[in-house]
Amino acid sequence: MIIHPVIKGQVAKSCHPVGCGQAVAEQIAYVSRAPQIAKGPRKVLVLGASSGFGLASRISLAFGGARADTIGVAFERGPSDKGVGSAGWYNLIHFSHMARKEGLIARNFVGDAFAPDMRAKVADYIRNEFGGSVDLVVYSLATGARPDPETGELVRSTIKPIGTATRGYTINLEKDFLEEQCLEPATDQEIKDTVKVMGGEDWQSWISFLKGEGLLAEGFETLAFSYIGPERTYDIYHHGTLGRAKADLHQTADRIDAALKAQKGQAHVVVCKALVTKASVFIPGLSPYLLALFRVMKEMGLHEGCIEQMQRLYADTLYRADGTIPVDAERLVRIDDREQRADVQEKVAALLDKMTPETFRSIGDYEGYKGDFMKLNGFGLESVDYEADVDLDRYRME
Ligand code: NAD
Ligand code: NA
């Protein structure tokens, strides 16, 4: 079949399997020539491994110097009579194919990471086929819903301010315009639910479970990702429902860290730069900021994507030759340092003051933003012939 992009609002309804493969190959090529990870982990579990920071972590740890064997867990759809499936499905297939060609183990588990039977399956695999333990667990899930572990009822997260209403623009990627939205403050229940879905509870329960099963190696590390951003985005993020969930994640890192002391283990939260991913395009009010940020950081030669961020994280920060991990006063690992630079934020603020639904395409880097979104779904890659027939039967999850 010939596959064309289909976008509805903020959601891609199709993806290009060949393009997804090419995007994974580009990331592999990047980490292969970047400064290498000196002494990294050999056995890694990535939760949320099919896109964004999770996929980039897996690529960096396998191909960026550590030559890690990896297990990837993700929630994705394969091809069916409903459509081609999701980009993450093809990312997993391409990654494992290329890792196995290099002689690395790359095992995928597709399904719900919140479900106890997924935990059991992964644990059995680690015990019986993966050498008996893991050195690193990367927790990179991003989702709008999670079944309550006690009741089984679906809990949904919301992205809202807390306390007072706020207005902000969201990008409509389907029709290329900015729409203004009024965001009412979250109710207490919505705050609680967002913390349940995007806070630290599930991360902690994965680690406690694996620890209880005796599957964490001595000197074990675990990380999860967070965002803080500059003050002018606090209303919608840092001081909103998502920020509340992240605060919970930060506290969880300290709890896990304490529980790992006996085996010389550590848990960290890594604060990343704002980027275009399947998850982040949903954050209302954040898009104009991203458009301005991309323009400024590209002009200053400071721009990074997921893969640049992750390779820098593992090579320069987490697995440095001297074995130390630099953290801030709150014990957070900061790789948002370039985004947060005063000179960057000054220029971003100046652009944002001029950004309106009429000017956003010339003031901000809309081309770059949309290009990244298309690329997440395998479209817009130069080396791909989009008029060529794609044989979906070639893509099998192993
Ligand atoms: P993403 O949408 O690219 O990836 C999410 C991953 O989670 C996918 O692999 C998906 O399959 C998986 N997933 C979702 N629900 C699942 C489930 N029930 N079971 C198993 N897998 C499931 O998202 P991302 O932007 O890479 O986000 C990862 C983390 O990074 C999040 O904690 C996010 O808050 C954080 N972060 C993102 C940004 C950004 O700008 N994108 C910035 C800083 C921090
Ligand atoms: Na991810």
Q: How high is the pLDDT of residue 335?
A: 98
Rounded-to-integer distance, Cα 97 and Cα 170, Å = 37
Q: How high is the pLDDT of residue 370?
A: 95
Which residue has its alpha carbon closest to ligand 1 atom 8? 48
What proportion of the chain, given as a percentage, has pLDDT over 90? 92
Q: How far is the CA of 359 from the centre of ligand 1 (A)?
A: 30
Greater confidence (181 vs 223) lies with 223
Which residue has its alpha carbon closest to ligand 1 atom 6? 48
First vs last C-alpha separation in the chain: 23
Q: How far is the CA of 139 from the centre of ligand 1 (A)?
A: 9
Q: How far is the CA of 249 from the centre of ligand 1 (A)?
A: 14
Q: How high is the pLDDT of residue 330?
A: 97
Residue 156 in this model has a pLDDT that exceeds 90: yes
Token pair for 202:
């599930």
237 is catalytic: yes
Q: State the alpha helices, DSSP H only, in the chain.
A: 17-33, 52-63, 87-101, 116-129, 188-198, 201-212, 241-260, 287-299, 306-312, 342-354, 360-363, 366-376
Residue 138 in this model has a pLDDT that exceeds 90: yes
Q: How high is the pLDDT of residue 323?
A: 87
Q: How far is the CA of 300 from the centre of ligand 2 (A)?
A: 27
Q: Which of 122, 120, 128 is nearest to 46 (CA)?
A: 122
Please give the biggest Cα pair distance in the chain.
59
Rounded-to-integer distance, Cα 178 and Cα 171, Å = 5
Q: Which of 336, 353, 355 is nearest to 297 (CA)?
A: 336
Whether pTM exceeds 0.95: yes
Give the nearest ligand 1 atom to 50 CA.
Answer: 9
The domain 7-382 having CATH identifier 3.40.50.720: the answer here is yes
Rounded-to-integer distance, Cα 237 and Cα 160, Å = 8
> Does ligand 1 lie within 6 Å of residue 48's CB atom?
yes
- 61-87 residue pLDDT tens: 999 999 999 999 999 999 998 899 999
Q: How high is the pLDDT of residue 149?
A: 86
Give the nearest ligand 1 atom to 336 CA.
Answer: 43
Which residue has its alpha carbon closest to ligand 1 atom 26? 52
| Of 237, 289, 314, 395, catalytic | 237
> Does ligand 1 lie within 6 Å of residue 58's CB atom?
no
Report the complex ipTM: 0.98
Mark the binding-site residues, compressed into ranges.
48-53, 75-76, 112-113, 141-142, 227, 246, 275-277
Give the nearest ligand 1 atom to 55 CA.
Answer: 9
Structural domain spans, the chain: 7-382
> Does ligand 1 lie within 6 Å of residue 237's CB atom?
no
> Does ligand 1 lie within 6 Å of residue 72's CB atom?
no
Q: How far is the CA of 353 from the centre of ligand 2 (A)?
A: 32
Q: What b/e string do you get for 261-298 counting C-beta neighbours within 10 Å, with b at 16 or more? A: eeeebbbbbbbbbbbbbbbbbbbbbbbbbbbbbbbbbe
> Does ligand 1 lie within 6 Å of residue 280's CB atom?
yes
Q: How high is the pLDDT of residue 137?
A: 98
Q: What's the pLDDT band for 389 if we cut at 50, 70, 90?
A: very high
Give the nearest ligand 1 atom to 54 CA.
Answer: 26
Ligand closest to 87 (CA) is 1
By three-state DSSP, how is residue 110 classified?
strand
Mark the binding-site residues for NAD(+), compressed into ranges.
48-53, 75-76, 112-113, 141-142, 246, 275-277
Output the CA–CA distances (angstroms, integers) from residue 304 to 194, 238, 275, in the order listed: 28, 21, 9
